[in-house]
Amino acid sequence: MEPFKLHKGLVVPLERVNVDTDQIIPKQFLKLVERTGFGQYLFYDWRYNSDSKPNPEFVLNSPRFSGGSVLLTGANFGCGSSREHAAWALLDYGFKVLIASSYADIFYNNCFKNGILPVILDEEVIRQLFDEVTKEEGYTIVTDLENQRIQKPDGRSVHFDIDQFRKKSLLEGLDDISMTLQHEEKIQSYEKQLKPFQLIDGKKV
């Protein structure tokens, strides 16, 4: 997992609440065995009409927001099933930062495990951001994880809170496996101390 410290990106507004993981990545696309390749199916039922042609009304199909890497959205984002594929699809599409007033717990944790920063801001601040993004084309922000702030195009900044353990994990690019490997020497030392065993009549002795 790549370390996350500073990210500058175009903001994409998805003004919907209670977006569940089946909308983020529909179940029929969960057959891939690797974490890549899911971005093309992100928000599939909203991005495409029944004839599989792009829906011109959906925000990801707007040329104005092409290349966006910051998703601004509504409350309770990522609710529904616990599929980690939702985080994989967002990351594979190109989103590095999410901004919402709240997230479903499992989805929130999955974001950190996959190098995505899910920022939590007050509803009033979220509403103001939606207004500014709508009015100003090319609305780009800088997300500074180390200093826990978002810098707007006009230079103003917004502070956000984050658990310090999760912050450290993102800053150092540590997923669950990487954290475990930090203790590799201790693990190997412990394993060497274990006594070998034999199987006699199917029992360890």
pLDDT digits (tens, 9 = 90+) for 20-62: 999 999 999 998 878 899 999 999 999 999 999 999 999 999 9
Q: What is the pLDDT of residues 122-140, one digit of tens each?
A: 999 999 999 999 999 999 9
Mean pLDDT of 57-74: 98
- For residue 11, which amino acid is it? V
Q: Is 204 within the bounds of a domain?
A: no
Mean pLDDT of 11-19: 98
Q: Is 193 within the bounds of a domain?
A: no
Q: Is 24 within the bounds of a domain?
A: yes
pLDDT for position 175: 66
Beta-carbon contacts of 156 under 8 Å, excluding residues fewer than 6 positions away, are: none
Q: Is 191 within the bounds of a domain?
A: no
Any idea what the CATH number is for the domain that residue 80 is in? 3.20.19.10
Beta-carbon contacts of 89 under 8 Å, excluding residues fewer than 6 positions away, are: 24, 25, 38, 39, 41, 42
Q: Is 110 within the bounds of a domain?
A: yes
Structural domain of residue 98, as residue ranges? 6-175
Q: Is 135 within the bounds of a domain?
A: yes
Q: Is residue 160 predicted with pLDDT exceeding 90? A: yes
pLDDT for position 12: 98
Q: Is residue 194 predicted with pLDDT exceeding 80? A: no
Q: Is 200 within the bounds of a domain?
A: no
Mean pLDDT of 178-190: 51
- Report CA 10 to chain centroid distance, whole Å: 16
Q: Give the three-state DSSP class for 84.
A: coil
Q: In what order do the strands lie in the sheet with 6-14?
A: 117-120, 97-100, 70-73, 6-14, 140-144, 149-151, 157-159
- Other CB atoms closer than 10 Å to residue 160's CB: what's the count? 18
Mean pLDDT of the chain: 90
Q: What is the pLDDT of residues 137-156, one digit of tens each?
A: 999 999 999 999 999 999 99
Q: How far is CA 9 from each of CA 66, 72, 95, 138, 159, rounded to the nearest angstrom?
A: 11, 12, 9, 10, 17
Q: Is residue 183 predicted with pLDDT exceeding 50? A: no
23-32, 89-98, 113-122, 190-199: which has the minimum mean pLDDT? 190-199
Q: Among 23, 25, 56, 20, which Cα is nearest to 39's?
A: 25
**Cα 62–Cα 68–Cα 70 angle in degrees, nearest 5:** 125
Q: Is 64 within the bounds of a domain?
A: yes
Q: Is residue 184 predicted with pLDDT exceeding 60? A: no
Q: Indicate the number of domains in the chain.
A: 1
pLDDT for position 71: 98
pLDDT for position 181: 45
Q: Is residue 186 predicted with pLDDT exceeding 80? A: no
